[in-house]
Structure 1
Amino acid sequence: MDNTYTIRNIVNEDGSALVSDYGAHVLSWTPKGHEPVVWQPKAVYLSEGTAIRGGVPVIFPWFGLGYANGEPAGKNPRHGFARTAFWHVDRDTLTDRHVLYTLDSDDVAPELLAETPSGSDSKFHAEYDVAVSDTLTMTLTVENTGDAPLTFEAAMHTYLHVGDVRCTQISGLVDTPYLDSADDFKPKEQTTSPLTFDGTMVDRIYQSEGTLLVHDEALHRTIMVEKSGSPQTVVWNPGEEAGNRIGDLMEGEWHDFVCVEAVVNRDSAVTIEPGEAYAISQTIRVK
């Protein structure tokens, strides 16, 4: 594996994206005629073992601290090892519209593999497909290449660029139950539509597999987020107090994005039998 910080500039007549081989990380995506839709901070730090802020981090094989026996499992690193791995790029399929990455269990250090929900005997082949045009489609496919069931959590932790999150609304979640991660994971329900942001932290795991619309009043646009293979959606913005404490964000950058994530985690974690595969996909477009 080539452990270099290669960043690929995918450009065509419909849009462009920057994608890092480290983490198979979409850093930005800009459809033609629009401001960037996938957000990246003013300063992007590349350091082995450290996750990249912004863009679309690939979360696998656990989410957050992991989950076991009804509570956080205390796993390290947070959000798994995929986002800090050097993925292989499939050069045979690389075009001005498409890049395909692969990661195998043999690429992972034994001490990290031991942290997977299925333990150190876990065997997998993961493919991450990024298609760039006037839409951005990202698909993570995980195949169980071992002899025992494979359990994992996964997500596309997508940062969407907005003019000001306090002038942003998300529709498509009314009457949807969620876990409030900012309030000790208490179960709640979205009783109002749309979801709005007031500068306090929003960190919620919605039991939602539907399409969401992100209405950005400041930039006068609506971003549509579609997905498949994901029964949950995480919506996250750290808010002013926590956002200004995040070390790799500049002061005030917290209001330039909202994360809308395609997720399988906690009680919705995926288990696949030997030889089976599971795919989770997210498509973003500007309406």
Structure 2
Amino acid sequence: MGPSAAVWDYRAGNEITKDWNGIDQVVLRNPQGASARVSLHGGQVTSWRNEHGEELLFTSSKAIFKPPKAMRGGIPICFPQFGNCGSLEQHGFARNKIWAIDDSSPPLLPNDSDGKSFIDLLLKPSEEDLRCWPNSFEFRLRVSLATDGDLTLTSRIRNVNGKPFSFSFAYHTYLSVSDICEVRIEGLETVDYLDNLCRRERFTEQGDAITFETELDRVYVSSPNVIAVLDHEKKRTYVIRKEGLPDAVVWNPWEKKSKAMVDIGDEEYKQMICVDGAAIEKPVSLKPGEEWTGRLQLSVVPSSFCSEHLNL
């Protein structure tokens, strides 16, 4: 989009443009040159770049960018379910809805606002949503980009129903890597996981790190709040910090499944890894008026910094 198509969010100084479907997207920038792009389709972060302009999130070259299909890449939000069960579409409906910019959320606190760019979004259920999932909610999402380039997503889900409800949740984070065979994940050693390739049978992680030689699809339950994804070739490490999200999903489709998926290239599994902050094994339950908060913070450090300094 050219400059004439851009407007500015008066609250945070963010650029608001439209994608090729005419859907608003918000561009966050920090003074150092890092950026993040958030689409109102799904409240989905579609891009996160460091101060050198390098893309840190994976997006498939065959991704479908047309509602109601969720885009393959970035950080789709899975709510009110993760996976595929019951009458709801896979991973729930939040990632396929048009969100609104939320002008009612409070601004950043003064000591938290220096150089930080953020956007607040709001999702409420439509009549169609209530027919397939009859629970009234308010879902507020804040996406912020810090001075140091860290990306933080904070979700607040409030029950405005007359009765309790439960949900599962995940930030389905596609990280860009140089070669999946050169990636290792630290911080999940000795943690129990549910293996989705073995009918969700429960196992305990035995390795000193997770490495990749074949398809992997696991939910690590009651996992630590700090996880490191080391990319040896690029000599950088993604550090994932999570709050209110007891579980972590690790997924790579590998070659066979990639060839069966229409919205990912046959070889693109080599350049991606999904590591999600999630609440899956024990669904979140909210009584009327209660609110849940789940926060995910992503940062990048040189691999030499890991992992003894990360309190894994």
CA RMSD of aligned residues (A): 2.0
**Amino acid across the alignment from 1:7:** Q
Is the CA contact (8 Å cut-off) linking 2:121 and 2:142 kept in structure 1?
yes
**Partner in structure 2 of residue 273 of structure 1:** 287
Q: Is 1:113 aligned with 2:125?
A: no
In structure 2, stretches of 5+ residues that fail to align are: 1-17, 109-114, 302-312
Residue identity over aligned pairs, in percent, reads 30
How far, CA to CA, are the matches of 2:286 and 2:209 in structure 1?
36
Is the CA contact (8 Å cut-off) linking 2:45 and 2:76 kept in structure 1?
yes
Give the TM-score taking structure 1 as reference length: 0.88
Q: How many residues align?
A: 270
The residue matched to 1:243 in structure 2 has which SS? Answer: helix
**Amino acid across the alignment from 1:78:** Q
Q: How does 1:175-186 map to 2 (within 5 A)?
A: 175-186=190-201
How far, CA to CA, are the matches of 1:29 and 1:102 in structure 2?
21
Q: Is 1:20 aligned with 2:39?
A: yes
Q: How does 1:50-129 map to 2 (within 5 A)?
A: 50-65=69-84, 73-90=85-102, 97-105=117-125, 108-110=126-128, 112-116=129-133, 120=134, 122-129=135-142
How far, CA to CA, are the matches of 2:198 and 2:47 in structure 1?
31
Q: How does 1:246-285 map to 2 (within 5 A)?
A: 246-266=261-281, 268-285=282-299
> Quick one: which of 221, 243, 251 aligns to 1:228?
243
In structure 1, stretches of 5+ residues that fail to align are: 66-72
CA deviations on 1:148-167 (whole Å, 9 max, x unpaired) are 11211111000011001111
- Asked which structure has the greater CA Rg, the reply is 2
CA deviations on 1:7-36 (whole Å, 9 max, x unpaired) are 222222241011111001100101213632
How far, CA to CA, are the matches of 1:56 and 1:189 in structure 2?
27
Is the CA contact (8 Å cut-off) linking 2:227 and 2:241 kept in structure 1?
yes
**Partner in structure 1 of residue 25 of structure 2:** 7
Is the CA contact (8 Å cut-off) linking 1:5 and 1:46 kept in structure 2?
no
The residue matched to 1:271 in structure 2 has which SS? Answer: strand
**Partner in structure 1 of residue 51 of structure 2:** 32
The residue matched to 1:127 in structure 2 has which SS? Answer: strand
With over 3 angstroms needed to count, the CA separation of the structure-2 counterparts of 1:109 and 1:165, relative to structure 1, is farther
Offset at 1:75? Answer: 3.1
How far, CA to CA, are the matches of 1:58 and 1:188 in structure 2?
26
The residue matched to 1:269 in structure 2 has which SS? Answer: strand
Tell me which stretches of 4 or more aligned residues in structure 1 moved more than 4 Å.
91-96
